[in-house]
């Protein structure tokens, strides 16, 4: 079975502006983030089933884009726990061995946070829950509002292209419209949302 799914990154937060790792910290959209999503409203496809993470920045973004839709909360699609990197930016971390290890695509270790393998497994578990609900409800135009790290994890796991984790990094309010084939467990990218 094939499902067309819209996957959207939440709007901008203060952490996005300062380029600090927010992770699982439950921060709201900033004013610029609210306005940024409003400016992009014309690009989002219609939706008949809406999924969000358990963090408020996804709820706020979803409410702006799909104001009349009930939000189904899927806790497993929240952002990566950034552990000791939380609240810090590249400049503060770049010379530490732990951060250099984190940037190694084959490792993704985060002190006191989620390692890449655990994070990806959680994201896939959340996505599988979403697909199950889509099929139970017979949705034709589902949408997911989640986080940059989650989107990168899903795209890296479900596309055939040889990529590194950050190749699918998207802007706040950006994302992808994909066709997910449940037999092959692969995405076909139909549209990139800017």
Stretch 90-107: mean pLDDT, rounded?
86
**CA-based R_g, the chain, Å:** 16
pLDDT at 4: 98
Q: Which pLDDT does position 109 carry in this prediction?
A: 87
For the segment 14-23, what is each residue's pLDDT rounded down to a tens digit? Answer: 999 999 999 9
State the average pLDDT over residues 58-82: 98
**Superfamily for domain range 2-193:** Phosphoglycerate mutase-like (3.40.50.1240)
Residue with tokens 């589902």: 142
Query: Which contacts of 186-189 are long-range, i.e. CB under 8 A and separated by 24 or more positions?
Result: 186/158, 186/159, 186/160, 187/154, 187/155, 187/158, 187/159, 189/159
48 touches 140 (CB < 8 A)? yes
Whole-angstrom Cα distance, residue 46 to residue 27? 27
Instruction: Determine the average pLDDT of the residues in 172-190.
Output: 97
Alpha carbons 148 and 53: distance in angstroms, whole number: 12
Tokens standing for residue 153? 């994890």
**CB distance 98 to 111 below 8 Å:** yes
pTM of the entire predicted model: 0.96
Domain locations in the chain? 2-193
For 53-110, the DSSP string reads -SSHHHHHHHHHHSTTSPEEE-GGGSPP--GGGBT-BHHHHTTSHHHHHHHSTTT---
Place of tokens 């530490």: 96
**Whether residue 42 has pLDDT greater than 80:** yes
Is residue 110 within 8 A of residue 83, CB to CB? The reply is yes
User: Which pLDDT score is estimated for 106?
Assistant: 62
Residue pair 26/56 in contact by the 8 Å Cβ criterion: yes
pLDDT band at 92 (very low <50, low <70, confident <90, very high): very high
């Amino acid at each position: 079975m094939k499902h067309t799914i819209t996957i959207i990154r939440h709007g901008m937060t203060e952490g996005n502006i300062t380029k600090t790792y927010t992770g699982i910290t439950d921060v709201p959209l900033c004013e610029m983030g609210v306005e940024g999503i409003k400016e992009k409203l014309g690009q989002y496809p219609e939706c008949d089933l809406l999924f969000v993470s358990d963090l408020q920045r996804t709820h706020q973004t979803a409410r702006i884009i799909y104001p009349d839709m009930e939000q189904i909360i899927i806790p497993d699609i929240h952002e990566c726990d950034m552990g000791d990197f939380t609240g810090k930016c590249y400049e503060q971390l770049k010379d530490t061995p732990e951060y250099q290890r984190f940037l190694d695509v084959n490792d993704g270790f985060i002190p006191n946070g989620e390692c890449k393998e655990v994070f990806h497994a959680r994201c896939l578990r959340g996505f599988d829950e979403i697909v199950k609900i889509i099929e139970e409800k017979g949705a034709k135009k589902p949408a997911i509002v989640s986080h940059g790290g989650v989107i990168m994890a899903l795209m890296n796991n479900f596309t055939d292209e040889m990529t590194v984790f950050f190749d699918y990094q998207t802007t706040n309010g950006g994302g992808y419209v994909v066709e997910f084939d449940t037999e092959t467990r692969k995405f076909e990218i139909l549209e990139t949302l800017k």
